[in-house]
Amino acid sequence: MRSFVAFGGNLGYVADTFRAAAERVAKLPQTRIITRSRLFSTTPVGSRSTNPYLNAVAAVATELPADEFLARLHEIEHDFGRRRTGRWGPRTLDLDLLAYGDHISTTPELLLPHPHCWYRRFVLDPWSDIAPGFVLPTLGESVGSLLKRLRQRPLPIAALDDIANAEVTASIAALPEVEPQHDLAGDPAIIFSMSSGGPRERIVNLSMASDPAVYALDVLRAALDEPRPIMDSRELPRQQS
């Protein structure tokens, strides 16, 4: 099964960590790395981390079931010092299973495709580097198309209800790159709501956030970032097919 794994980190020698972690992934049973993106330097999101991140995406062929593959990725994270201390915190290594073929899963333990990948430039830029044509089965849109949406300036956004609109309005005062729309006719890149729109829509649900305005701001900052490629994937070890 062709899968995609996101690599992220901002503590220690991150490029070396990625290299070693990629070797661990390639040694998993019935698993091989097909290709990897360049490394991208990205801006941290949220207030808990100030160091820039490195991000990359690998295409991985695996016969492991999706839940077992994810569990193995978490084991590798832990072995490299990852401790899950909260959202947007600094980390040595973050491994996210972005997609597992065209498989869709909505269980709390396994959400596929990754529910937040579509608005995160630190995911989409490296992903598009190796597989711009891959179509997310939930959204019916390719990685390259989703990235193109986020590159619009100003970035068109919309809110589905008054409460979401108030929270988003409070978040974008310092973001001139954003253009709020009053309806969906203009096909906004990101839609905010106080209720879930389901996995097949480009909707960010603010209702579960402890501070919806801060959450909306974090989403927009992740969407507005301009990742910078800094290293060719050929500098990382590659397993031959």
> Two tokens at 125?
């830029």
| More reliable by pLDDT, 42 or 81 | 42
Catalytic residue among 36, 38, 72, 91, which?
A: 91
Better-predicted residue by pLDDT, 82 or 230: 230
* Averaged pLDDT for residues 11-29: 96
Predicted pLDDT of residue 240: 37
Please say if 94 is a catalytic residue: yes
Residues 6+ apart with CB under 8 A from 151: none
Helix (H) or strand (E) holding 30, with range, is: none
Q: How far apart are CA 188 and CA 183, in angstroms?
A: 9
pLDDT confidence bin for 241, thresholds 50/70/90:
very low
- pTM of the full structure: 0.92
Q: What is the pLDDT of residue 232?
A: 65
Give me the mean pLDDT over the 202-212 stretch. 91
Whole-number pLDDT of residue 184: 83
Would you say 57 and 129 are in contact if contact means Cβ atoms under 8 Å apart? yes
**Mean pLDDT of the 125-148 span:** 98
Instruction: Provide mean pLDDT across the span 26-53.
Output: 91
Catalytic residue among 72, 82, 121, 149: 82
Structure tokens at 50: 């100030």
- Which tokens belong to 237? 């070890």
Residues of the chain with pLDDT > 70, as a percent, come to 90
Active-site pick, 72, 94, 125, 149: 94
- pLDDT at position 155: 97
The arithmetic mean of pLDDT across residues 42-61, rounded, is 89
Contact 193, 225 (CB under 8 A): no
Residue 72 annotated in active site: no
Give kind and range of the element (H or E) at residue 19: helix 14-26
The pLDDT score that the predictor gives to residue 238 is 42
- pLDDT score recorded for residue 239: 40
CB 233 within 8 A of CB 35: yes
Catalogue all structural domains in the chain, each as residue range(s) with its CATH number: 2-235 (3.30.70.560)
Range from 115-119, 169-173, 175-179, 211-215 that averages highest in pLDDT:
115-119
The better pLDDT of the pair 240, 18 is held by 18
To the query of whether residue 67 is one of the catalytic residues in this protein, the response is no
Mean pLDDT along residues 1-30:
97
What is residue 99's predicted lDDT score, i.e. its pLDDT?
A: 99
Is the pLDDT at 220 greater than 50? The verdict is: yes
For residue 144, what is the enclosing H or E element? helix 143-150
What confidence score (pLDDT) does residue 81 get? 87
Planar angle of CA 153, 197, 222, nearest 5 degrees? 35
Question: Which of 36, 38, 72, 96 is an active site residue?
Answer: 96
Q: Has 82 been annotated as catalytic?
A: yes
SS3 for 75? helix
Question: What is the average pLDDT value for the chain, to the nearest integer?
Answer: 90
**Predicted confidence (pLDDT) at residue 196 exceeds the cutoff of 50:** yes
pLDDT beyond 90 at 235: no
Confirm if 231 and 188 have CB atoms less than 8 A apart. no
